[in-house]
Amino acid sequence: MYVAGIDIGSTSGEALILEGERIVGWSIVDTGYSSRRAAEEALEIALQRAGVAREQLQRIVATGYGRISVDFADQQVTEISCYARGAHFLYPQVQTVIDIGGQDSKVVAVGAGGKPLDFAMNDKCAAGTGRFLEVIARILQLELAELGDWALRARRAAEISSTCTVFAESEVVTLVAEGVTREEIVAGICRSIARRVAAMAARVGVEPPVMFAGGVAHNRGVVRALEEALGHTLIVPAEPQIVGALGAALIARDGMDKETR
């Protein structure tokens, strides 16, 4: 029996196919301007990789901010439930999940069976999200994927006092003009994101083990800064962007169990 989970975020969309408890295919695509088209594309690629035909899918669950546009899904579920469920499946002992995506960040307390107990979310402000890193990468003319290494090479982190992306942008331009190194600036940006997310996490309460998911978990500079800010080591899954789609697929499978019972 095959089921699919689709997670459409503001920046990336993922699809994941499960056969029983086994992940048989998954994909990551850019969301672009159309959530619906991104969902179709992600699903097609994941199906192709799994060698599964669309008709073989018994159930599709969509999540993420663009989930409402995925009108071909059988059910739409919040990211909070999906992240908790996906993280629990990968590491059953996980008690807290932190997700930093392209334009939002969230912290979920995970209970028994991967049920969310509590959460906090920021989707109003770019600071504390991947968008912040994208803006800074552009100013410093660095590739997004190499930002983490730049941060790790810094001997100290530049102090970034602005909490708003727009002001931080001009602050960074000033720091560059003053001769502060790109390493120190990137390290300062990572620390600024980490502090913001840690403050949000404190509202939920951070119980270890803690998983760090979402695209920003690829950035080792943010991983280290967040570990310092939280005082806990973080579990980063090999593919941090597919945790939401995995959770959605697992919830799809639960739905099947209910229908066949």
CB of 9 or CB of 255, closer to Mg ion: 9
Question: Which residue in 111, 131, 127 sits closest to 119, CA to CA?
Answer: 111
Check binding of 149 to ligand ADP (CB under 6 A).
Answer: no
| Residues in 62-101 that interact with ligand ADP by CB under 6 A | 101
| Segment near ligand ADP (CB under 6 A); pick from 70-78, 109-117, 125-133, 248-256 | 125-133
E strands, the chain, where? Answer: 2-8, 12-19, 22-30, 57-63, 75-76, 96-100, 105-110, 116-122, 210-213, 234-235
- Count of residues that bind Mg ion according to CB under 5 A: 2
Contact with Mg ion (CB under 5 A) among 5, 9, 128, 237:
9
Check binding of 221 to ligand ADP (CB under 6 A).
Answer: no
Taking the complex as a whole, the smallest distance from the CB of residue 202 to ligand ADP amounts, in Å, to: 22
List the beta bridge partners of residue 13: 8, 29
Check binding of 219 to ligand ADP (CB under 6 A).
Answer: yes
Residue 76 identity: Q
Residue 144 near residue 134 (C-beta atoms within 8 A): yes
Three-class SS state of 10: coil
List contacts with ligand ADP (CB under 6 A).
Answer: 9-12, 31, 101-102, 130-131, 133-134, 144-145, 214-216, 218-219, 241
